[in-house]
Every structure is written in structure tokens, then in C-alpha cells.
């Protein structure tokens, strides 16, 4: 009786194994994630030129130079904005007195934009965008006195 | 017929890899997190995208740009080598809200020639947190 039982058991196991080996396909799944990212690289800082009446310090004045920033995005929904300086980081004591600050930007490459005020939030296309930025400080009364001046403009990449 | 497709797929794969490898200042730019208690944790990866060491500063802001004081913030100020990346972990209070949105911003102010004007690059990852009760 015992040998018969073993034979029956073995044949059942063989049937199950052969059946499962021939009738089963398994998928091997591969997953990957590329995070949405934004990269900013300041390519060059700018220069401030001075107006002949010494009431304007600006990259738009003679001797001035725009700043240039490169932005790389790999997904939709990223935006760019340029935040105007709130004051000079370097300057004589009277530098910020009666002075207003503005910024403008244009973009080329992955995104095309022209002469927008810094406060305007713009949607970025995928890829590399080059942004040229102007910064201006204007005296509403009086003039800029002699000395070294420096201001910082913030370029922000963000998903609103 | 098969080979060209294979080459195109390889090229696409390579371009995707190179894009993700070279273009991360902050990632991910958006994330949803959930928390069971009064705090939530968010993580972002920041990278110095310059070819010189740079001082990075990480700050947390509300959507209307008020500074948030996190309970814990790792690597808030860090000198990163060229193309070096680091994970920033923030533990933030829900501030008695069931949902809270914050921006975790990484900023670098490099010196790139010029004088009179500097530019601070700031990249902000958006974190939407939901409190589960």
C-alpha cells in the first residue's frame, strides 16, 4: 500500500510542477522616477552705469551690463520671476534714501519673453532658458553721491 | 527596422539620464506629504550647479513669503562643492491647520564677474502637507 501511496504522491507533484512551469508567464516590472527639477545658474553678474545727471544707476545706462542667468527645467509647471532689490547692499549712507528699485527681464531659448517687469511671473518651457536681467535704481529726489554701489536681484524658480 | 528603434530608445534614455543628472538645483519641485500628528516631514535634494564651491542657504516660506521657522532643518547653511548634492530634511509644524503649503527654497549668490549687481538664484520646492486624524 505504501509504495502505491508514494507513487501517487510523486505523480501529483510532477503534474502540479509541470503544469505551473508551462502555463505561467511572469512580468518583471521596472520602475523609475525623474523628479521635476529646476536649476538656476548665474552666468554673469551685471554692471551699473550712471546717468549724466546722477539720478539713475542702471544696467541700461551707458557702461552698464545686463546680468544673465540660465534656467533648466525638465517638467511643466515651473515659473520664473525676478524680485527687485529692496535696497543697496553696498553704498554710501544716503544710497537708499528717496530711491526706487525696478527690474526687467527677457528670455530666450526654451522660453521666449521680452522686456517684462520683474514682478511678472512667467511659465517656463522644458529645457534651457537664458534670462537677461536689468536692474535700475532711480532717485525720486536728489542725486547719487560718489561711492561704490551694489544691489542684489533675486531670480526665483518656483511651482505656483 | 528593429535596430533604429533600439538606437532611438537608447538615445532617449541617455538624454533623460543626462538631463536629470546635470539639472538639479532642487528636486522634487512639488510633493504631497501626510502626517498623523502636529508635524510633517519633507525632504528635497539640493545641488550646487556651479563649477566652484558655493554657500547654499535653505529657508522655508509660506505661500505669501513669510519666513517659517521649522522645528528641524538639516543642512540649512552648507558649503557645497562643484556639482555636489545633499538631502535637506525639514520637520515643520502644521500650525493648527489640517492642510499646509510651504516652499522650501535653496538659494545661492555666486560671484560671477561684474560689479554693482549680483544675482541670487533661488529655487523653491512646493510641499503640500495634509494632516490625517
pLDDT tens, residue by residue, A44-59: 889 999 999 999 999 9
Q: What is the ipTM of this complex?
A: 0.74
| pLDDT tens digits for range A62-108 | 999 999 999 999 988 899 999 999 999 999 999 999 999 999 999 99
Tell me which fold the domain B28-131 belongs to.
Answer: Immunoglobulin-like (2.60.40)
**Greater confidence, A35 or A70?**
A70
Note whether A158 contacts B120, CB cutoff 8 Å.
Answer: no
The answer to whether residues A89 and A62 touch, using CB atoms and an 8 Å cutoff, is no
Question: 3-state SS string over chain B?
Answer: CHHHHHHHHHHHHHHHHHHHHHCCCEECCEEEEEECCCEEEEEEEEECCCCCCEEEEEEEECCCCCEECCCEECCCEEEECCCCEEEEEEEEECCCCCEEEEEEEEEECCCCCCEEEEEEEEEEEEEEEEECC
Note whether A47 contacts B117, CB cutoff 8 Å.
Answer: yes
Say if A11 falls within a structural domain: no
Say if A17 falls within a structural domain: no
What CATH number is attached to the domain comprising A77?
A: 2.60.40
* B44, B56, B119 from B123: Cα distances, Å: 11, 11, 13
Residue with cell 539620464: B17
Q: Taking residues B83-97, what's their average pLDDT?
A: 94
Say if A110 falls within a structural domain: yes
pTM over 0.95: no
Q: Looking at beta carbons, which residues of chain A come within 8 Å of B27?
A: 35-37
Task: Note down the domain range covering A74.
Answer: 38-158
| pLDDT tens digits for range B104-119 | 999 988 866 556 778 8
The number of domains in chain A is 1
Amino acid at each position: 500500500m505504501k509504495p502505491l501511496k508514494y507513487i501517487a504522491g510523486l505523480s501529483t507533484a510532477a503534474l502540479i510542477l509541470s503544469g505551473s512551469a508551462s502555463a505561467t508567464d511572469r512580468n518583471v516590472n521596472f520602475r523609475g522616477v525623474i523628479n521635476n527639477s529646476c536649476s538656476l545658474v548665474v552666468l554673469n553678474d551685471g554692471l551699473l552705469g550712471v546717468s549724466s545727471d546722477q539720478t539713475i544707476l542702471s544696467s541700461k545706462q551707458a557702461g552698464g551690463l545686463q546680468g544673465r542667468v540660465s534656467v533648466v527645467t525638465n517638467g511643466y509647471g515651473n515659473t520664473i520671476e525676478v524680485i527687485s532689490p529692496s535696497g543697496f547692499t553696498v553704498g554710501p549712507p544716503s544710497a537708499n534714501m528717496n530711491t526706487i528699485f525696478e527690474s526687467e527681464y527677457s528670455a530666450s531659448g526654451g522660453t521666449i519673453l521680452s522686456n517684462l517687469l520683474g514682478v511678472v511671473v512667467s511659465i517656463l518651457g522644458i529645457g534651457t532658458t537664458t534670462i537677461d536681467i536689468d536692474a535700475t535704481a532711480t532717485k525720486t529726489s536728489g542725486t547719487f553721491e560718489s561711492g561704490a554701489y551694489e544691489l542684489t536681484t533675486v531670480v526665483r524658480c518656483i511651482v505656483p | 527596422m528593429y535596430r533604429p528603434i533600439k538606437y532611438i530608445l537608447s538615445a532617449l534614455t541617455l538624454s533623460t539620464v543626462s538631463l536629470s543628472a546635470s539639472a538639479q538645483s532642487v528636486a522634487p519641485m512639488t510633493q504631497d506629504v501626510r502626517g498623523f500628528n502636529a508635524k510633517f516631514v519633507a525632504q528635497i535634494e539640493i545641488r550646487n550647479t556651479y563649477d566652484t564651491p558655493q554657500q547654499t542657504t535653505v529657508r522655508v516660506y509660506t505661500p505669501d513669503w513669510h519666513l517659517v521657522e521649522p522645528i528641524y532643518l538639516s543642512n540649512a547653511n552648507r558649503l557645497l562643492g562643484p556639482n555636489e548634492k545633499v538631502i535637506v530634511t525639514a520637520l515643520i509644524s502644521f500650525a493648527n491647520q489640517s492642510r499646509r503649503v510651504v516652499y522650501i527654497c535653496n538659494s545661492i549668490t555666486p560671484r560671477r564677474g561684474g560689479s554693482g549687481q549680483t544675482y541670487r538664484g533661488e529655487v523653491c520646492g512646493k510641499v503640500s502637507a495634509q494632516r490625517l486624524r
